[in-house]
């Protein structure tokens, strides 16, 4: 017994020594090569940077365009690549003042962080003259400068503009094959939708002999946000903004929240009617995203879901089933409804992004760091930030026009390919409206399937869209609002799920509205209205 134990201990010690040695070696090596490089190329400036990238994204060292961009800017960047738990890492890192020279990622450092960690980040306004490409974006798209500017006039983080994305993230799909098979016409309002869904359920719409395996309607699980049923509110004239995940929207210049709006109550009653009739996936509030997606992918040629929302048909239903589905126009509340019909207007959130790149105030060579930033905002580089390197991912037609190439790996869909090859939407970039770039198959599909929504999306952006991205709150207001929203959403989620599955919204509504106010809903609306008015008056 004793022998085995002491053997184990010695083994432990030995590995400890060995690994300690090899570790030392490992640590010293990169430094040395770094120095060598520095000597060889002369004036290359060493920088450190942190990037929050998509987990699919390949190592940065393998991105050809990035190597070229660093080369052109005369910098050599040591990247720390983060794919998960950035929030947790960030708090500690910033609070202890232990930063890198550059931060890259979607809202990688938030406005609240800038306010909280005063002096930690570099005000870029003084460096702007050295960055003509960034200046060009501010000139051509003045709203990008508004996005970037803090209440005190400083600019800490630079935005992106990627131009090609549609005005809404959610598209509405119905199974056209089922409609045809059952001889039904396309529903145009909620009541017709109800009848169609009943037929889907009762008449074995997919024709496999089992009348019980159809799921007439499905969504990811919440109220608002992308792909959730709040878009139905468009049929009552409400224009959601960026999905309105927490219910806020603007109507004729007034900030409101649909969670306590009578039109929302109407929708809940309707959804409850559907649920009672067994037309909604009974697992709608519990399934995770993987399951939500796989159910809609059916089995081979056999579709399972009748009516749902998604980004694009081929992603939502898989390549095999996508042809069965049609993207449809928004539904009116009833045949007699004569008001306007709207949808979720998400243009800002899909095409702009805040704080995509940020510089630390401690950066030793700020000019060099700014040179690199400027390089990223150059049209040709920005394009490659989004879609991947020229040659492998983008074709240069030679006449000043470009085309996005299909994936080199045939099994891969274009979306996955893009996220694998480059920073994609996570990077800082400016794609000018004048850029002549032919998009890939996936984006074309999105745009085609967005067409039925175009009438509803012709909204009045001046008075019916909440400009969330263009508003900067003070830290105190920000804290108040996020506390209130946590409470409001707790209440809303609970009740929404309960009302849809069990009913009784009519009886509990007044009490619920009172509770929501107590939870801080009115206070938030007041704050947002104040900022909104200020924004409108400045415009």
Given the complex with another protein, which of 293 and 461 has the nearer CB atom?
Answer: 293
Residue 504 in the binding site for another protein (CB under 8 A): no
Closest CA to 228 of 321, 342, 344, 336: 344
According to CB under 8 A, which residues from 178 to 217 bind another protein?
A: none
At closest approach, how far in Å is the CB of 323 from another protein? 14
Write the interaction track for another protein spanning residues 228-257; mark x where CB under 8 A is met and - where it is not. ------------------------------
At closest approach, how far in Å is the CB of 225 from another protein? 8
Q: Encoding tokens for residue 425?
A: 């939407």
Write the interaction track for another protein spanning residues 351-390; mark x where CB under 8 A is met and - where it is not. ----------------------------------------
Residue 454 in the binding site for another protein (CB under 8 A): no
Given the complex with another protein, which of 12 and 448 has the nearer CB atom?
Answer: 12
Residue 55 in the binding site for another protein (CB under 8 A): yes
Q: For 222, which DSSP code?
A: -
**Bridge partners of 249?**
240, 256
Q: Please state the separation of Cα 493 from the chain's center in Å.
A: 21
Residue 40 in the binding site for another protein (CB under 8 A): no
At closest approach, how far in Å is the CB of 360 from another protein? 14
Please choose, out of 200-208, 366-374, 482-490, 526-534, the segment that lies near another protein by the rule CB under 8 A: 482-490
- Binds another protein by CB under 8 A, chosen from 192, 498, 508, 535: 498
Closest CA to 258 of 496, 418, 64, 508: 496
In the block, which residue shows the tokens 């051509």? 140
Closest CA to 485 of 520, 434, 522: 520
Closest CA to 175 of 14, 261, 303: 303
Closest CA to 219 of 207, 201, 232, 203: 232
Please choose, out of 191-199, 311-319, 388-396, 460-468, the segment that lies near another protein by the rule CB under 8 A: 311-319
Hey, CA dihedral for 164, 168, 169, 172, is it positive or negative? negative
Given the complex with another protein, which of 392 and 487 has the nearer CB atom?
Answer: 487
Given the complex with another protein, which of 39 and 290 has the nearer CB atom?
Answer: 290
Residue 467 in the binding site for another protein (CB under 8 A): no
At closest approach, how far in Å is the CB of 314 from another protein? 7
Please choose, out of 143-151, 266-274, 395-403, 410-418, the segment that lies near another protein by the rule CB under 8 A: 410-418
- Binds another protein by CB under 8 A, chosen from 130, 143, 191, 283: 283
Q: Encoding tokens for residue 122?
A: 């570099």
At closest approach, how far in Å is the CB of 438 from another protein? 17
At closest approach, how far in Å is the CB of 16 from another protein? 4
DSSP 269-313: HHHHHHHHTT-B-TTTTT--HHHHHHHHT-BTTB--EEEEEES-H
> Strands 75-82 and 45-52, how do they pair?
parallel
Distance CA 424, CA 417 (A): 10
The angle, 0 to 180 degrees and rounded to 10, between the axes of the packed helices 366-376 and 64-73 is 140
- Binds another protein by CB under 8 A, chosen from 46, 198, 203, 285: 285
Conformational region of residue 177, where left means phi above 0, alpha means psi within -120 to 50, and beta covers everything else: alpha
- Binds another protein by CB under 8 A, chosen from 34, 38, 68, 116: 116
Residue 31 in the binding site for another protein (CB under 8 A): no
Distance CA 422, CA 385 (A): 6
- Binds another protein by CB under 8 A, chosen from 105, 216, 310, 388: 310
Size of the site for another protein (CB under 8 A): 96
Q: Please state the separation of Cα 84 from the chain's center in Å.
A: 16
Residue 487 in the binding site for another protein (CB under 8 A): yes
Q: Which residues contact 430 (CB under 8 A, 6 or more apart)?
A: 133, 134, 136, 137, 141, 144, 160, 161, 377, 379, 382
At closest approach, how far in Å is the CB of 141 from another protein? 18
Residue 401 in the binding site for another protein (CB under 8 A): no
Distance CA 46, CA 79 (A): 11
- E-assigned strand segments in 83-182: 102-104, 157-161, 171-175
At closest approach, how far in Å is the CB of 188 from another protein? 26
Given the complex with another protein, which of 189 and 480 has the nearer CB atom?
Answer: 480
Q: Encoding tokens for residue 533?
A: 């008015």
- Binds another protein by CB under 8 A, chosen from 311, 345, 372, 509: 311
Residue 221 in the binding site for another protein (CB under 8 A): yes
Given the complex with another protein, which of 40 and 61 has the nearer CB atom?
Answer: 61
Closest CA to 355 of 45, 52, 47: 52
Euclidean distance between the first and the last CA atom of the chain, given in angstroms as a whole number? 82
Given the complex with another protein, which of 55 and 129 has the nearer CB atom?
Answer: 55
Residue 61 in the binding site for another protein (CB under 8 A): no
């Amino acid at each position: 017994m004793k022998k085995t134990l002491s053997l184990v201990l010695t083994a432990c010690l030995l590995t400890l020594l060995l690994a300690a040695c090899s570790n030392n070696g490992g640590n010293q090596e990169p430094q040395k090569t770094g120095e060598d490089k520095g000597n060889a190329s002369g004036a290359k400036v060493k920088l450190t940077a942190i990037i929050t990238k998509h987990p699919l994204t390949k190592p940065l060292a393998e991105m050809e365009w990035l190597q070229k961009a660093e080369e052109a800017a005369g910098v050599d960047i040591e990247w720390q690549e983060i794919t998960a738990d950035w929030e947790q890492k960030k708090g500690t890192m910033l609070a202890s003042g232990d930063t890198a020279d550059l931060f890259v990622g979607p809202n990688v450092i938030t406005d609240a962080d800038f306010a909280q960690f005063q002096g930690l980040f570099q005000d870029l306004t003084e460096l702007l003259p050295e960055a003509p490409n960034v200046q060009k974006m501010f000139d051509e798209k003045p709203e990008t400068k508004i996005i970037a500017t803090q209440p005190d006039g400083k600019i800490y983080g630079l935005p992106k503009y990627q131009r090609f994305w549609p005005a809404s993230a959610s598209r509405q799909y119905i199974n056209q094959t089922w409609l045809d098979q059952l001889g039904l016409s396309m529903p145009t309002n909620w009541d017709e939708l109800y009848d169609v869904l009943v037929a889907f359920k009762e008449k074995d719409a997919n024709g496999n002999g089992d009348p019980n395996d159809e799921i007439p309607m499905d969504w990811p699980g919440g109220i608002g946000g992308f792909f959730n049923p709040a878009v139905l509110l468009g049929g009552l004239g409400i224009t959601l903004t960026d999905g309105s995940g927490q219910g806020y929207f603007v109507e004729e210049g007034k900030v409101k929240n649909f969670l306590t709006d009578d039109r929302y109550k109407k929708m809940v009653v309707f959804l409850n009617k559907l649920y009672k009739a067994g037309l909604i996936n009974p697992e709608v509030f519990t399934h995770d995203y993987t399951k939500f997606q796989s159910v809609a992918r059916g089995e081979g040629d056999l579709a399972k879901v009748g009516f749902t929302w998604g980004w694009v048909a081929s992603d939502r239903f898989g390549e095999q089933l996508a042809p069965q589905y049609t993207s449809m126009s928004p539904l009116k509340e009833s045949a007699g409804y004569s008001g306007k019909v709207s949808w979720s207007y998400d243009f800002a959130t899909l095409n702009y992004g805040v704080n995509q790149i940020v510089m630390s105030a401690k950066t030793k060579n700020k000019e060099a760091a700014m040179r690199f930033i400027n390089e990223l905002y150059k049209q040709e580089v920005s394009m490659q930030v989004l879609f991947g390197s020229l040659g492998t991912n983008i074709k240069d037609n030679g006449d000043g026009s470009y085309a996005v190439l299909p994936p080199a790996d045939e099994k891969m869909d274009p979306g996955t390919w893009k996220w694998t090859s480059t920073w994609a939407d996570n990077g800082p970039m400016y794609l000018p409206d004048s850029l002549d770039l032919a998009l890939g198959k996936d984006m074309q599909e999105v745009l085609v399937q967005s067409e039925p929504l175009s009438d509803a999306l012709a909204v009045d952006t001046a008075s019916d869209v909440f400009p969330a991205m263009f508003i900067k709150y003070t830290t105190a207001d920000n804290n108040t609002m996020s506390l209130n929203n946590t409470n409001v959403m707790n209440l809303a989620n609970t009740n929404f799920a309960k009302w849809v599955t069990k009913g009784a919204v009519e009886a509990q509504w007044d009490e619920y509205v009172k509770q929501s106010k107590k939870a801080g809903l009115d206070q938030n609306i007041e704050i947002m209205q104040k900022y909104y008015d200020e924004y409108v008056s400045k415009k």
